[in-house]
């Protein structure tokens, strides 16, 4: 059992509950969930037999109840904001990777890679060079007609 599982999971589902040992897994999970989360939500441990549809309505009810709990304590907005924050960071990082990869394909970028590979240049120094070139190129590519959000 990993501690992170209990920090992340809002509803725990043990599938194939008709198999030997399933009840023990449920008991073990439940025993580890004795600590309440700061939000007051204790993740339920549910059993299903998906091939027969057993326990599925209870899973749906638990997910709905968790959503209601998040709204009641105001965490739905907090989670949504964090999801949006991560998505925006991912979009920016994807663009940085794309542009940096393009720069490293140029002759000077290939030379930079060769110098790092040969040990003539430290990776951190090469990263600084790449960052400087990336920022210079990015600023030069700015679209003056693009609206800025402030």
| Residue bearing the bigger pLDDT, 75 or 132 | 132
Query: What separation in angstroms does the CA of 44 have from each of 33, 47, 120?
Result: 9, 10, 57
Q: Phi and psi at residue 65, in whole multiples of 5°?
A: -65, -40
pTM of the model: 0.51
Query: What separation in angstroms does the CA of 128 have from each of 19, 122, 134, 137?
Result: 57, 10, 10, 14
DSSP assignment of the chain, as one string? --HHHHHH-SSEEE--TTSTTHHHHHHHHHHHT-SPPTTS----EEE-BGGGTBTHHHHHHHHHHHHHHHHHHTHHHHHHHHHHHHHHHHHHHHHHHHHHHHHHHSHHHHHHHHHHHHTSS-HHHHHHHHHHHHHHHHHHT--TTSPPP-
Cβ atoms within 10 A of the Cβ of 58, count? Answer: 15
The tens digit of pLDDT for each residue in 2-35 reads: 566 666 778 999 999 999 999 999 988 888 776 5
pLDDT above 60: residue 61: yes
pLDDT for 30 equals 82
Mean pLDDT value of segment 107-121:
96
């Amino acid at each position: 059992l990993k501690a992170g599982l209990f920090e992340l999971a809002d509803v725990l589902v043990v599938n194939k509950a008709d198999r030997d040992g399933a009840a023990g897994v449920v008991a073990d999970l439940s025993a580890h969930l004795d600590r309440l989360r700061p939000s007051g939500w204790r993740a339920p441990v549910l059993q299903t037999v998906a091939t027969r549809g057993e326990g599925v309505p209870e899973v749906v009810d638990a997910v709905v109840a968790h959503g209601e709990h998040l709204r009641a304590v105001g965490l739905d907005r907090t989670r949504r904001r964090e999801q949006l924050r991560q998505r925006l960071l991912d979009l920016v990082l994807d663009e940085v990777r794309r542009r940096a990869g393009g720069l490293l394909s140029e002759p000077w970028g290939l030379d930079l890679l060769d110098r790092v590979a040969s040990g003539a240049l430290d990776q951190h120094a090469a990263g600084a060079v790449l960052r400087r070139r990336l920022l210079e190129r990015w600023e030069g590519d700015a679209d003056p007609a693009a609206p800025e959000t402030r």
